[in-house]
Homo-oligomer: A and B are copies of this chain.
């Protein structure tokens, strides 16, 4: 993984607070993407350097936030049970990603303003004598 640099663009991050029921943000959304890809809560957790317990708790919280389940899982079986997104989970995932894109567009001018006023560390000095050696 590349280290963060002051040259990297500013990144707006969206989170939705559900009063008394938790938060919906990058963590749960990425976990759902990994579940879709791996078919397993534990593999999805591993892909995010997360314990099985932590991944399971996030899935459980996600399922309790909505009237419909987002992730379905079976315990047991040859591979320790599988997990998959429900149709609702899939819709939620796509909608959240679309919201992030909309956010980026809506805030474009403000992000440009912030970027223009951001501290520049380690940037070359704007005036530099020509080194002829």
Q: Residues of A with Cβ closer than 8 Å to B? A: 3-21, 23-24, 64-68, 88, 92, 95, 98-99, 102-103, 105-107, 110-111, 113-114, 117-121
Report the bound CA distance from A12 to B11 in whole Å: 16
State the oligomeric state as a number of copies: 2
Closest B residue by C-beta to A115: B18
Q: Is the interface of A mostly helix, strand, loop or mixed?
A: mixed
Which of A68, A110, A113 has its CB near the most chain B CB atoms (within 10 A)? A110
Closest B residue by C-beta to A63: B119
A106 CB contact (under 8 Å) in B3, B65, B103, B121:
B103
A4 CB contact (under 8 Å) in B4, B20, B65, B114:
B20
